[in-house]
Amino acid sequence: MKLVSAKPFTFEGGKRAVLLLHGFTGNTIDVRELGRYLNERGYTCHGPLYEGHGDTPEMLVTTRAEQWWEYVVEGYRFLQKQGHEEIAVVGLSLGGVFALKTAYTFPVKALVSMCAPVKPKSAEDLGRHVSLFTQRYKKILGISAEQIEEEWTSLRGQSIQMVESVQAVIEEVGDQIQEITCPALVVQSGKDHPVNLESADLLYNRISSEQKSLIWYENSPHLVTRGPEKEKLHEDVYRFLEELDWEDA
């Protein structure tokens, strides 16, 4: 089986812009379909690909969360340079954490956080996440289970600093959530095993936004953007964005 190459994307539309952020060990494919849906309805959508993502596990473990954040900042600046004065930010998983950070760091029109792990996760949990990614990646290449285990043993030690950097950004953002005042939509799937489901209520309650809502997708997995309720998600995100007081309205 051939691996699908992930790339950054930009779908040009109108003045209203949306920055779409993928998650940890994921890539732009996870938010591309949502971006295309919004673009077909007039929005300019841009999705950056973080350092080490969409690449091999060996490349991923050499990178850190602070490097990935720089790609988020570059994505925001890119939309500004294209002349977009109003930018909404939409993020999945760790991308949701980055979306939260964007919302209290820069002026944003609105925020959509999807399945964001705002409760600190243990190093063991994050390590398992990297291990599963490594196994899936290597299996696609046709590598045997024994060889995968051998390679992961080597990678495990190299991944420690990366995992610690992810923990640090989750904790940092968790401490700043109350600074967010823009309109916010919190999305949470009901079958989200990687994320503590208490994160959604915690996030919703801590955000200081006057205009905020929480929507659950009970039958969806962690990657809610690719789950069985993705069409409803597309509609809900679009409806949320349409209700904002955009200057071009």
Token pair for 57: 């596990």
Please pick, among 93, 113, 199, 220, the residue that the annotation labels catalytic: 93
Does the active-site annotation cover 93?
yes
Please pick, among 22, 84, 222, 234, the residue that the annotation labels catalytic: 222
Please pick, among 189, 192, 199, 220, the residue that the annotation labels catalytic: 192
> CA 142 to CA 163: how far, in whole Å?
27
Kindly write down the DSSP assignment for every residue of 102-155, as one continuous string.
Answer: HHHHS--SEEEEES---S---HHHHHHHHHHHHHHHHHHTT--HHHHHHHHHHH
Kindly write down the DSSP assignment for every residue of 205-234, as one continuous string.
Answer: HH---SSEEEEEEEEEES-GGGSTTHHHHH
Question: Residue 147: which of 138, 158, 156 has the closest Cα?
Answer: 138
Question: Residue 198: which of 182, 225, 219, 174 has the closest Cα?
Answer: 174
> CA 237 to CA 240: how far, in whole Å?
5
- Report, as residue numbers or ranges, the catalytic residues: 93, 192, 222
